[in-house]
Amino acid sequence: MGSPASPSIAIIAVDYVVSMALTHLDFEFPIIKSYVDDLFAVVPKDKVDSILDVFNSVDKDIQFTLEVENNGKLPFLDILIERSEDGDLITSWFKKPLLSSNNYPNKVISKCEKIVSERIRNNIRSNNVNRNWSFSRFPYIKGLSPRLGSLFRHTNCKLVFYNVFKVKDLFSRLKDKVEKEDRSGLVYRIPCSCGKWYVGQTRQKLKARVRQHKLDCRPEKSIKNNKTALAEHHFVEDGHNFQFEDVEILDLEKNYMKRNLSEMIFIKAMNCVNFRSDTQNLSTIYSDLINDVKDLVKS
């Protein structure tokens, strides 16, 4: 009870009980209808008691009660079903006599019936009147929107105003801003004093990756084999000093394959010191995208 899934679960449970019960009966129902856990059925008079026993035998936790017709009438949900002499079923609205059963004064009951009837009539009348109306959504601007609405007063079009401000606009951002050096899963570039760039990608925090590059540029690392393209460019000749404090983030991407692709595109689009092997797996289908990135970098 109380869960949004309760009606669906109830329907499944009742359908299961009904299907199991029908397999144990030696006759077919001329009519059987269900709405969640309410059932309406037409059965032979001599089978009424046995049917209830069969339904209640399917599951001890799911037990039914039985209500039979009285003077050819039987209430089901909000309708009253009446069996005519020729066998037709006639339906009408059914109102449970709750107020009368609880000794409410007739005056109060009459007043309640009048209010409900009036609301039903007004609702029907309103629906009929508004049937040809058209509605347009429009932002609410103080001083302007009411005037615009009045212009449509004598037409069949109505302006429905909405507030351009949202609840989140009333509150400050609760999360602290993540500083550039603390971001991870990204593509970055580091400028060299010669005017070229080194482009790289990392899943680490940017400050950790920059620290590794700084260590690779220490003098004792010059004799190291398999140096990175950044270190190789730094040691190739004097005057190539990378400005690590000016590192920039080009793209944020947690997925390695996408991040690797993004890195290759930026290497192709920029004047970089990276090895040619860094982009050897890049397909030619990205040529147009690379040109767009070149224009973006220039701007």
Query: What DSSP line would sit under 204-240, residue for residue?
Result: EEHHHHHHHHHHHTSGGGTT-SS--HHHHHHHHSTT-
Q: What is the pLDDT of residues 169-204, one digit of tens each?
A: 777 666 677 889 999 999 999 999 988 999 999 999
Res 106: pLDDT: 81
Which parts of the chain have pLDDT scores under 70? Answer: 1-5, 96-97, 99, 101, 120, 123-132, 172-175, 278, 280, 296-299
CA neighbor of 253 nearest in space, from 242, 265, 244, 262: 262
Query: What are the sequence ranges of the domains in the chain?
Result: 6-93, 137-175, 183-298
- Report the length, in residues, of the chain: 299
> Distance (Å, rounded) from C-alpha 114 to C-alpha 116?
6
User: What pLDDT score does 126 carry?
Assistant: 56
Query: Would the pTM of this model clear 0.85, i.e. be above it?
Result: no
Residue 152 · residue 158 · CB < 8 Å: yes
Residue 251 is predicted with a pLDDT of 92
Q: Residue 4: its pLDDT value, please?
A: 66
The angle at the Cα of 197, spanning 191 to 203, to the nearest 5 degrees, equals 90
